[in-house]
Amino acid sequence: MSILVQNLTKLYTRPGAPAQRAVDAISFAVQPGEIVGFLGPNGAGKSTTMKIATAYLPPTEGTVQVNGFDVRTQSVDVRRNLGYLPEHNPLYLDMYVKEFLHVAGSLHGLRGAVLRQRITEMIDLVGLQLEQRKKIGQLSKGYRQRVGLAQALIHNPPVLILDEPTTGLDPNQLTEIRQVIRTIGREKTVLFSTHIMQEVEALCDRVIIINRGRIVADGQLSALRETSDGSVAVVAEFEQELADVSVLNELPGIRHIEAMGENRYRLTADRDSDLRAAIFRLAADKNLTLVGLKQQESSLEGIFRELTKTNSEP
């Protein structure tokens, strides 16, 4: 297992204030080679979980293991196996790109020709060739993210944890950084946090959704779509206007009928009602000519909103 989180709880304590339960007994596992999106609204507990998984913060209860190493008792091994891009990507703006990567590599014990080789490889991997001789402060936000990714990967760790890697990027930079993450994900296990559902859709198959410190969903995006509210929606288009729309109420498991104009109807029914076959049969029975039938995907944004409805701070 690349990342194993078991019964993890984090309380933040402040003098004179009640302790805040930022993470509340969560468990999940990330398998080698997976790219997993860790999704949740602001304040859900994503960064806290990631900081614990990278051995920057101690857990209050529970355990996290990275490649079998425990964050509490084997933090040096955890850091050797892990690359981390923190939220807000702290960088030394006065340093040159190569100089910074040199420092980052040295901190992991890389030296001499091996380190120089690694720096060149990372610059190629994240697409920093044209900017490699600049100071970090002269780079755009997208290129700074690339430096952050290169820094996280310099010691060739098998596991990568990225905390909101695309926040604040313009649409072009966003696409470019996603492409870099996709490339990295071919060889590494990646857990990245975001509060944007499309991000997860663009990058991975699996998502873990956290809300108010608790996991509210964990699984493949396709399964999430299916189990969200147990309904399926189909748009049916007929050649002629329906003289009596109420015939559609005869469809088994029908929940909702919405006229969309031009003889098109959006029909929502129970997922197990085999809606499309039933529409065909109904059209034949009632002498209606069906000219279009299209199943609609559940909106993932809608699913996310539904799962994280009570997202006010605990």
Question: What tokens were used for 4?
Answer: 């194993």
In the block, tokens 């399926």 appear at: 232
Per CB under 6 A, 12 contacts ligand ATP: yes
Shortest distance, position 112 Cβ to ligand ATP, whole Å: 38
The residue (of 47 and 67) whose beta carbon lies closer to ligand ATP is 47
Residues 6+ apart with CB under 8 A from 46: 38, 39, 40, 163, 164, 193, 195, 210
Per CB under 6 A, 212 contacts ligand ATP: no
Per CB under 6 A, 46 contacts ligand ATP: yes
Shortest distance, position 264 Cβ to ligand ATP, whole Å: 39
Give the β-pairing of 206-211 and 254-261.
Answer: unpaired
Cα(6)–Cα(21) distance, rounded to whole angstroms? 16
Cα(223)–Cα(94) distance, rounded to whole angstroms? 47
Report the candidate in 212, 178, 174, 173 with the shortest Cα–Cα distance to residue 192. 178
Site stretch for ligand ATP (CB under 6 A), options 45-53, 176-184, 222-230, 261-269: 45-53
Q: Which position among 195, 238, 269, 279 is part of the footprint of ligand ATP (CB under 6 A)?
A: 195
Phi, psi of 40 (to 5 degrees): 180, 160
Per CB under 6 A, 22 contacts ligand ATP: yes
In the block, tokens 């420092």 appear at: 103
User: What helix, strand, coil percent values describe the chain, rounded to 5?
Assistant: 35, 30, 30
H or E element: which one contains 8? strand 3-14
Per CB under 6 A, 166 contacts ligand ATP: no
Per CB under 6 A, 20 contacts ligand ATP: yes
The residue (of 90 and 292) whose beta carbon lies closer to ligand ATP is 90
Per CB under 6 A, 313 contacts ligand ATP: yes
Shortest distance, position 229 Cβ to ligand ATP, whole Å: 25
Site string for ligand ATP, 70-109 (x = CB under 6 A): -----------------x----------------------
The runs of H, that is alpha helices, within the chain are 46-53, 75-80, 97-107, 112-126, 141-153, 171-185, 197-203, 221-227, 275-285, 300-307
Per CB under 6 A, 40 contacts ligand ATP: yes
Per CB under 6 A, 44 contacts ligand ATP: yes
The residue (of 85 and 104) whose beta carbon lies closer to ligand ATP is 85
Cα(293)–Cα(237) distance, rounded to whole angstroms? 6
The residue (of 79 and 195) whose beta carbon lies closer to ligand ATP is 195
The residue (of 46 and 188) whose beta carbon lies closer to ligand ATP is 46
Residue 48 CB coordination number (10 Å): 20
Per CB under 6 A, 42 contacts ligand ATP: yes
Per CB under 6 A, 312 contacts ligand ATP: no
Q: Which position among 45, 59, 105, 127 is part of the footprint of ligand ATP (CB under 6 A)?
A: 45
Q: Contact residues for ligand ATP (CB under 6 A)? A: 12, 20, 22, 40, 42-48, 87, 195, 313
